[in-house]
Amino acid sequence: DTGVSQDPRHKITKRGQNVTFRCDPISEHNRLYWYRQTLGQGPEFLTYFQNEAQLEKSRLLSDRFSAERPKGSFSTLEIQRTEQGDSAMYLCASSPRKQGEMDTQYFGPGTRLTVL
Amino acid sequence: RKEVEQDPGPFNVPEGATVAFNCTYSNSASQSFFWYRQDCRKEPKLLMSVYSSGNEDGRFTAQLNRASQYISLLIRDSKLSDSATYLCVVNEGTAGNKLTFGGGTRVLVKP
Give the pLDDT of residue B86: 98
Single-letter residue type at A81: R
Low-confidence ranges of chain A (pLDDT < 70): 1, 97-103
The whole-angstrom separation of Cα B40 and Cα A95 is 23
Contacts with B73 (C-beta within 8 Å, 6 or more apart), sequence order: B20, B21, B22, B35, B47, B60, B61, B62, B86, B88
Give the pLDDT of residue A98: 65
Dmax over Cα atoms in chain A, in whole Å? Answer: 44
Contacts of B94 in chain A (CB under 8 A): 56
The torsion defined by the Cα of A6, A11, A17 and A18, in degrees rounded to 10, comes to 0
Give the pLDDT of residue B65: 94
Residue in B43, B46, B104 closest to A108 by CB: B43
Give the pLDDT of residue B96: 65
Nearest Cα to B91, choosing from A88, A93, A38?
A93
Low-confidence ranges of chain B (pLDDT < 70): 1, 94-96
pLDDT, mean over chain A: 91
Q: Do A104 and B8 touch (CB under 8 A)?
A: no
Q: Do A91 and B43 touch (CB under 8 A)?
A: yes
Chain A CB within 8 Å of residue B101 CB: yes
Q: Do B44 and A43 touch (CB under 8 A)?
A: yes
Give the pLDDT of residue B42: 92
